[in-house]
């Protein structure tokens, strides 16, 4: 079998791939009347990981169990002897040592696996799989066979058809027409998976995996690179994503920038997943320009093509000025104090589900409603990942608004101290979000500051002081980030109540997700 050799991280005293099994006595052998078992090994032709010359080689060793047809291997009396070590000869026939003999009566099933490794345990056989090390070489391939069922004794070799038990991932990253990536950038580029199980047990009875352990950050092996691209690969345990959202989170490091893509499909045994990313930045693309695309082979009978397109958020210019920040009505909004801000831009609308999904690959909203509805249920840290990738694509420096910028823009800017604008949608316990732009708008043209969803700000939460401030950014450290604005859970039916919603301050740890909290963007003028 053509394979990649690597030293395994030992999980027992000897090997990182091991079998445990019950020790049943072999039935009485009356002599030479029993027929010796002869087997042949073939990699299943339909296997998606099969490549040219991927064949077993003479001397390769596999493990074989022979059991009574209709019995599970762990049932008393099911096995004819213990797990047998077998070697493939030059002619392709598998010879067992000691020789394995068919029973005098009854048919049998065969279970086999590659590569051979065994340790006796009292109750069951299971293969302990460790894929934590993908560099400098990939882990050993694992093959499994249980295709021989209800086999009568025969002197002819019986063919074992093996399937691949792991999934293989290949990631290719290319530069687009506008890319500024250099040959050195591709040479230094890395791709990792954030949140994947690297240890599990494969049950010999059916080849499935269980007992997942050690949710890790996994480095993909760099298969090769050129002046215009780099390719990475990994062998992974099926169904092993363990991130909080269940996605396979790919983390790219390129030209000093970190950005992520969430691949939200399960990995199946024996499948080869080819993901090809095209990075086209920092130039601003046309509205429908493809920035990222990938195909998966053969996740379904037809290749999947997913396109991720860029977008430019619609921003509102906010002229700088001085205003009174804070309120006497709430304990954490006092004392009122003077704040002076420079010119800046702020998002006309809250960032939507469609915009998030277009950039990040998955909609995280707890209550998904549609592309034009505000995204919610995102951590402050997730928002930073979104902004970093948007900045890479557009070449701009989007950010979250500071708390002072948010309140100033929500109040209406330089010429207005109250939120009450040209259009107000009154809230009376609707308890559901609505499309951005369909609600209230203030004198600046900023929508939904007092309703729809609350919004993350950039600041750490801290108390106010009486001193006048210029372009404040909040405390230098803390445990909770500021959240501002009203949301669909709030009731209000007067201008005063709307203003109070604008003045209120909320705060949560940056790793929290809340189903009524989203965000909008800001940009220096």
Summarised one tens digit per residue, pLDDT across range 363-420 is: 899 999 999 999 999 999 889 888 887 887 777 899 999 999 999 999 888 876 665 5
pLDDT reported for residue 503? 85
Position 4 pLDDT exceeds 60: no
Position 424 pLDDT exceeds 80: no
Tell me the torsion sign for CA atoms 67, 102, 45, 57. positive
Residue range 306-334: average pLDDT? 82
Q: Which residue has the higher pLDDT, 277 or 56?
A: 277
Range with the poorest average pLDDT among 68-82, 178-192, 452-466: 68-82
Tell me which fold the domain 315-524 belongs to: 3.90.1580
Please name the residues in contact with 433: beta carbons below 8 A apart, sequence gap of 6 or more: 367, 369, 373, 374, 376, 452, 453, 487, 488, 516
Residue range 432-459: average pLDDT? 89
Residue range 211-235: average pLDDT? 90
- Residue 280: band (very low, low, confident or very high) from pLDDT cuts 50, 70, 90: low
pLDDT tens across 31-88, in order?
457 898 888 876 544 333 333 335 677 778 888 888 899 887 777 778 877 777 788 7
pLDDT reported for residue 477? 92
229 bridge partner residues? 174
pLDDT reported for residue 404? 95
Nearest to 112, CA basis, from 44, 160, 68: 160
Nearest to 200, CA basis, from 165, 233, 163, 160: 165
Q: Which residue has the higher pLDDT, 38 or 91?
A: 38
Domains 39-164 and 167-197+212-309 share a fold: yes
Tell me which fold the domain 39-164 belongs to: Immunoglobulin-like (2.60.40)
The answer to whether residues 167 and 238 touch, using CB atoms and an 8 Å cutoff, is yes
- Residue 253: band (very low, low, confident or very high) from pLDDT cuts 50, 70, 90: confident
Angle subtended at Cα 328 by Cα 327 and Cα 329, rounded to the nearest 5 degrees: 90
Token look-up 């430019």 returns 312
Q: How many CB atoms lie within 10 A of CB 88?
A: 22
Q: Which residue has the higher pLDDT, 84 or 105?
A: 105
Domain parsing of the chain, residue ranges: 39-164, 167-197+212-309, 315-524
Q: Which two tokens stand for residue 269?
A: 């045994």
pLDDT reported for residue 136? 84
pLDDT reported for residue 210? 83
pLDDT tens across 510-524, in order?
989 999 999 999 999
pLDDT reported for residue 306? 40
pLDDT reported for residue 284? 31
167-197+212-309 is a CATH 1.20.58 domain: no
Position 476 pLDDT exceeds 70: yes
Nearest to 390, CA basis, from 292, 516, 510: 292
């Amino acid at each position: 079998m053509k394979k990649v050799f690597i030293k395994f991280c030992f999980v027992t005293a000897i090997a990182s791939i091991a079998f445990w099994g019950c020790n049943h006595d072999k039935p009485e052998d009356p002599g030479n009347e029993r027929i010796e078992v002869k087997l042949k090994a073939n990699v299943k032709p339909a296997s998606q990981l099969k490549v040219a010359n991927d064949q077993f080689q003479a001397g390769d060793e596999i493990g074989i169990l022979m059991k009574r047809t209709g019995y599970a291997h762990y049932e008393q009396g099911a096995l004819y002897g213990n797990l047998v070590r077998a070697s493939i000869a030059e002619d392709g026939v598998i010879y067992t040592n000691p020789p394995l003999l068919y029973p005098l009566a009854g048919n049998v099933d065969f279970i086999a696996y590659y590569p051979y490794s065994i340790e006796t345990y009292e109750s069951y056989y299971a293969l302990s799989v460790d894929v934590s090390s993908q560099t400098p070489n990939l882990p050993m391939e694992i093959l499994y066979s249980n295709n021989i069922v209800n086999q009568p004794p025969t002197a002819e070799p019986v063919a074992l058809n093996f399937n691949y038990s792991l999934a293989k991932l290949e990631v290719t990253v290319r530069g687009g027409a506008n890319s500024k990536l250099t040959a050195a950038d591709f040479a230094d580029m890395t791709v990792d998976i954030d949140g994947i199980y690297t240890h599990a047990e494969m049950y010999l009875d059916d080849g499935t995996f269980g007992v997942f352990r050690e949710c890790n950050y996994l480095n993909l092996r760099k298969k090769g690179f050129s002046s215009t691209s780099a390719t990475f690969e990994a062998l992974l345990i099926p169904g092993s994503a363990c991130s909080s959202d269940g996605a396979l989170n790919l983390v790219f490091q390129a030209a000093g920038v970190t950005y992520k893509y969430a691949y939200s499909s399960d990995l199946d045994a024996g499948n080869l997943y080819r993901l090809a990313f095209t990075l086209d930045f920092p130039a601003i693309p046309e509205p429908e320009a493809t920035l990222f695309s990938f195909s998966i082979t053969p996740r379904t009978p037809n290749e999947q093509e997913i396109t991720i397109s860029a977008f430019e958020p619609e921003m509102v210019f906010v002229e700088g000025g001085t205003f009174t920040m804070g309120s006497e009505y709430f304990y954490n909004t006092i004392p009122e104090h003077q704040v002076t801000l420079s010119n800046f831009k702020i998002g006309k609308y809250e960032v939507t589900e469609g915009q998030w999904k277009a950039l990040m690959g998955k909609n995280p909203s707890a209550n998904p409603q549609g592309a034009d509805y505000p995204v919610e249920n995102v951590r402050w840290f997730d928002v930073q990942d979104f902004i970093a990738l948007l900045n890479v694509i557009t070449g701009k420096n989007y950010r979250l608004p500071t708390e002072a910028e948010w309140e100033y823009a929500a109040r209406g800017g330089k010429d207005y101290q109250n939120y009450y604008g040209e259009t107000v949608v009154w809230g009376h316990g609707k308890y559901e979000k609505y499309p951005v732009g369909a609600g209230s708008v203030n004198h600046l043209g900023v929508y939904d500051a007092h309703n729809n969803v609350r919004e993350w700000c950039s600041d750490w939460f801290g108390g106010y002081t009486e001193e006048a401030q210029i372009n404040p950014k909040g405390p230098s450290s803390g445990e909770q980030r500021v959240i501002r604005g009203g949301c669909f859970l709030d009731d209000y039916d007067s201008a005063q109540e709307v203003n109070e919603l604008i003045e209120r301050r909320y705060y949560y740890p940056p790793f929290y997700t809340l189903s009524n909290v989203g965000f909008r963007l800001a940009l220096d003028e």
